[in-house]
Amino acid sequence: DGGITQSPKYLFRKEGQNVTLSCEQNLNHDAMYWYRQDPGQGLRLIYYSQIVNDFQKGDIAEGYSVSREKKESFPLTVTSAQKNPTAFYLCASSRPPSVYSNQPQHFGDGTRLSIL
Partner 1 sequence: AQKITQTQPGMFVQEKEAVTLDCTYDTSDPSYGLFWYKQPSSGEMIFLIYQGSYDQQNATEGRYSLNFQKARKSANLVISASQLGDSAMYFCAMRGMNTGFQKLVFGTGTRLLVSP
Q: Which CB sits closer to partner 1, 32 or 78?
A: 32
Q: Return the closest-CA partner of residue 7 out of 106, 103, 97, 91.
A: 91
Among 19, 24, 33, 47, binds partner 1 (CB under 8 A): 33
99 phi/psi in degrees, rounded to 5 = -100, -40
Residue 33 to residue 47: CA distance in whole angstroms: 6
- In the complex, minimum distance from the CB of residue 21 to partner 1, in angstroms, rounded to a whole number: 14
**DSSP 8-state secondary structure symbol assigned to residue 70:** B
- Nearest distance from C-beta of residue 35 to partner 1, angstroms: 8
- The answer to whether 106 contacts partner 1 (rule: CB under 8 A) is yes
Per rule CB under 8 A, count of chain residues that contact partner 1: 28
